[in-house]
Structures are given as structure tokens and as C-alpha cells.
Amino acid sequence: MIVVMKPGATPEHVQHVVELVREYGLKDHVITGTDRTVVACIGDKRMVDKSAIENAPMVERIVPILAPYKMASTEVKATHSQVRIGPAGFPIGGKKVGIIAGPCSVESREQLLRTAEAVRNAGCIGLRGGAFKPRTSPYSFQGLGEEGLKILAEARDRSGLAIVTEVIGLEQVEAVAQVADVLQVGARNMQHYPLLEAVGKSGKPVLLKRGMSATLEEWLLAAEYVIDAGNRNVILCERGIRTFEDYVRNTLALASVAELNDKTHLPVLVDPSHGTGHAHLVPAMCRAAVAAGADGLLVEAHLDPERALSDGAQSITPAALAGMMPVLRQIAQAIGRDL
């Protein structure tokens, strides 16, 4: 941490900061520049909210130097992690890029079983589908709940696909963990800490979506909550951020994939469905995500998008997905991976 003093700060002002810094258990190092004095603070005290020093007289600002996350960081673990998911133990984060697809919501048994078959035949390794849905409006379809979980379990048994489904509240973690191969924490819940701790204790792999306006640091700190609760099997999923752009539901920031590959050992998926909000943009963003180095994709696929109960506008058909696979495979191979 660096404390930058305002111009005109007197030695007394600097001394006051030095004392505060020492109170925090840090070593101080005062540097007097031509225009400014700064106090460099040495020591690792991630627990302390040192930004309060900003309120000391004649302090201009505090510049943190260390990233606030640790266990998710490549500083602590340099080699990339793999998270094995589903009955077949598919490794997310290895050489192979894995595609997980399925409807936004489980709508009926027949729908899901047919989708699972189509998705498996397309070469996917996982099936997504929500039983409990976090909907922006209380008047929207809220999912089939427990009934949906049963259907997902049957789909897994028949297809062998890994089941990825969202858990929207603490109170469902146990029930969902009995069925799901991967517990999804949605964008809206990325900073719901009690839920992060609960999925951390569940023992199941966790797919942690980026909050719609989360910085990478906040996202990795959310992952840190899960890891801190004892669960290292965290998969990150970029799903686009909120910006001023109005032709998309979210702006899909693919540079995050490259940056995360640098900063964290955790595997990274991309969700081009929420990442754009419109089916016609999904194929190009699937290709771009694989080219950028994503470890996999999470794609909304629906047998009849026009009649989907949720997210129809951003769903493609399983047939369209199957049609894309050869191209995605060639792109994966171009960068030394496979699919």
C-alpha cells in the first residue's frame, strides 16, 4: 500500500500517517519526491481496511499494491487447475474445451430428455437447465423447483452428461447438491456471501458466474469465499457485463478470459447467450470465446426458442449448436487444444 500525501503536507501530517500505519502493524517507508511525499507501507495485512487512512489530514489517496485475493491467485498456485465434472469426470481446464448446453429453465420432462439427447449427440459434455430460476420480475416463470431437479437427475442418468443447475438460495443447496454435478451461482448472487459459503461447504464443483458489474478482483474475491470454505473446485464463467451498449443484453468482455488465465489458476468458461442476449450473435461469440482461450462454453439451447418460457431470445436450437461444432473444433485445434 502506498499513501500519497497532498502537496503542502507538513512533516507533522506525514508523521501522523506514519503512526497510523504502524498502528495497523505495517512498516513505513517515507519517500519525499519533488512534488509529493508518499508513504510506502510494507507488510501483508489483507484483513485490515486501511483505506480509512484516506481520512487523515492531507492524505490524497491510498494506492493498494497487493491483489486482495490469494488462494485463487497464480501467485499461490502457478499451474492451472482442472475441475472434473459429471459421471464421466470430464476435466474442465485441460486440453479439451467442454461445451455445456441446455435450456434456461427445465420446462417439462419431455423437453429436457429430448434436449439432453440432442445436446449429447452434438458432442457436449454437460447439460444446463434451471429448476429454481432467479427472475427479475415476480410475475415471470419461476421454475419447476424440486420437480425440475428430478427431471435433471433422470436426464443425467440417461445421457451421461454432467448436470449444471443454479442454486439461488442457501435453503436449496442440499437438495440441489444431491442431483447436480455442478452448482451454479448466478450473476445476481455473485456477492451473496452466505450462499458462497454454503456451496463452498457442499463439496460439489461450483460454477461461479461473473456479476453483471463485477470487476475481476471482486469476482476472484467471490471465488475466494468458496475456496475459503474448503472447496477448490471453482469454475469461473464470464457472462458479459453491463455497459451503455443497447444492441446487446450484456457486453461480452472476452479479454477477461486472457487476463484471468494470467491472474488465476481457476478454469474459465464463457456464456455467449447471456453475454449477448440475442441468438443471432451467439455463434460468433462461441467462436471468439474458444479462440480467446476459454476452457469451455455454457450455451442456452432450446428445441423451440420461440416458445421458450424464459430466455427464448438468446437461445439457439441444439441443431444449430451441432452445426457449429466442427468450426469450434478447428479453432480449438488452431490454438493447440481440442474439443
Question: Which parts of 93-112 interact with a copy of itself (CB under 8 A)?
Answer: none
Minimum distance from residue 284 beta carbon to a copy of itself (Å): 4
Work out which of 25, 255, 323, 338 binds a copy of itself, going by CB under 8 A.
255
What is the distance in angstroms between the CA of the first residue and the CA of the last residue of the chain? 43
Instruction: Examine residue 257 and tell whether it contacts a copy of itself (CB under 8 A).
Output: yes
Q: Which residues contact 274 (CB under 8 A, 6 or more apart)?
A: 187, 239, 240, 249, 250, 300, 314
Minimum distance from residue 161 beta carbon to a copy of itself (Å): 24
Return phi, psi of residue 160, to 5°. Answer: 75, 5
Give the nearer residue to a copy of itself in terms of CB position, either 38 or 199: 38
Cα(21)–Cα(44) distance, integer angstroms: 12
Instruction: Examine residue 175 and tell whether it contacts a copy of itself (CB under 8 A).
Output: no
Minimum distance from residue 53 beta carbon to a copy of itself (Å): 6
Minimum distance from residue 40 beta carbon to a copy of itself (Å): 5
Cα(332)–Cα(326) distance, integer angstroms: 10
Instruction: Examine residue 215 and tell whether it contacts a copy of itself (CB under 8 A).
Output: yes
Report how far Cα 233 is from the mean position of its chain's Cα atoms: 12
Work out which of 113, 253, 322, 325 binds a copy of itself, going by CB under 8 A.
253
Q: For residue 93, is it left (φ>0), alpha (ψ between -120 and 50) or beta?
A: left
Sole residue written with cell 508523521: 15
Name the residue type at position 193: Y
Angle at the Cα of 226 from the Cα atoms of 157 and 249, rounded to 5 degrees? 75
Work out which of 22, 25, 46, 158 binds a copy of itself, going by CB under 8 A.
46
DSSP labels for 2-56?
EEEEPTT--HHHHHHHHHHHHHTT-EEEEEE-SS-EEEEEES--TTS-GGGGGGS
Instruction: Examine residue 3 and tell whether it contacts a copy of itself (CB under 8 A).
Output: no
Cα(195)–Cα(324) distance, integer angstroms: 35
Which range binds a copy of itself by CB under 8 A, 79-87, 93-101, 116-124, 217-225?
217-225
Window 121-140: residues binding a copy of itself (CB under 8 A): 134-140
Work out which of 13, 94, 153, 228 binds a copy of itself, going by CB under 8 A.
228
Instruction: Examine residue 327 and tell whether it contacts a copy of itself (CB under 8 A).
Output: yes
Sheet holding 27-32, edge to edge: 27-32, 37-42, 2-5, 59-63
Work out which of 127, 164, 241, 269 binds a copy of itself, going by CB under 8 A.
241
Instruction: Examine residue 157 and tell whether it contacts a copy of itself (CB under 8 A).
Output: no
Minimum distance from residue 176 beta carbon to a copy of itself (Å): 13
Work out which of 11, 25, 43, 89 binds a copy of itself, going by CB under 8 A.
43
Instruction: Examine residue 52 and tell whether it contacts a copy of itself (CB under 8 A).
Output: yes
**Are 39 and 5 contacting, i.e. CB atoms less than 8 angstroms apart?**
yes
Instruction: Examine residue 79 and tell whether it contacts a copy of itself (CB under 8 A).
Output: no
Work out which of 131, 209, 276, 318 binds a copy of itself, going by CB under 8 A.
276
Window 278-307: residues binding a copy of itself (CB under 8 A): 278-281, 283-285, 287-293, 305-307
Instruction: Examine residue 58 and tell whether it contacts a copy of itself (CB under 8 A).
Output: no
**Are 224 and 259 contacting, i.e. CB atoms less than 8 angstroms apart?**
no
